[in-house]
Amino acid sequence: MDVAIALAHSEPAHEVVRDARGVVIGFIERQRQTGVVVARNARGIVVGRFDRNGTRTAEGRLVSRSNVLSALLLGR
C-alpha cells in the first residue's frame, strides 16, 4: 500500500497521512517544545510516538530506533 503525506505548510506541526486512494489513515503531529512526534489514526487515537530514543507503540513497546510512525499507521 502506498502512502502519501500532505503537508499543511513548509514546516508542519500537523501532517495528514493518506493511503493510495486518498483516504485519510492518520495524522503525524510534531510537538515542537518537547521534540516528540506523535502518530494518531484517522479516529484520533494515538498509535505511537517518536523521540530521540526511537519509535514506540501506544503501549510503549520499542519498534525501531528511527522514525517509522507511518508504518504504525499502516499496520493498524
Domain that holds residue 18: 3-75
Q: For a pLDDT cut of 90, what percent of the chain falls above it?
A: 68
What is the edge-to-edge ordering of all strands in the sheet holding 14-19? 3-7, 14-19, 24-31, 36-41, 46-51, 54-57, 62-64
Average pLDDT of the segment spanning 8-32: 84
- Dump pLDDT digits (tens) for 56-76: 999 999 999 999 999 999 875
Whether residue 14 has pLDDT greater than 50: yes
Domain count, the chain: 1
Backbone dihedral angles phi then psi of residue 17, each to the nearest 5 degrees: -110, 125
- Number of Cβ atoms within 10 Å of the Cβ of 54: 14
Whether residue 8 has pLDDT greater than 60: no
What's the CA gap between 43 and 57, in Å, rounded? Answer: 16
| Secondary structure class of 75 (helix, strand, coil) | helix
Q: Kindly report the pTM of this predicted structure.
A: 0.79
